[in-house]
Amino acid sequence: MKKLISVVEQYRFDTEEEATRFIEECKEEANKGGYTLKSYGTTFKEKKSKGEVIDSGYLVKIAKDYDTFWD
Q: Provide the CA 46 distance to its chain's centre, in angstroms.
A: 18
Taking the model in full, what pTM does it have? Answer: 0.86
Which residues are bridge partners to 39 per DSSP? 63
Q: Mind spelling out the 3-state secondary structure of 8-46?
A: EEEEEECCHHHHHHHHHHHHHHHHHHCCEEEEEEEEEEE
pLDDT score of 3:
93
Domain boundaries of the chain, sorted by first residue: 7-47+56-65
Evaluate whether 35 touches 64 at the Cβ level (below 8 Å): yes
Q: What is the pLDDT of residues 17-39, one digit of tens each?
A: 999 999 999 999 998 888 999 99
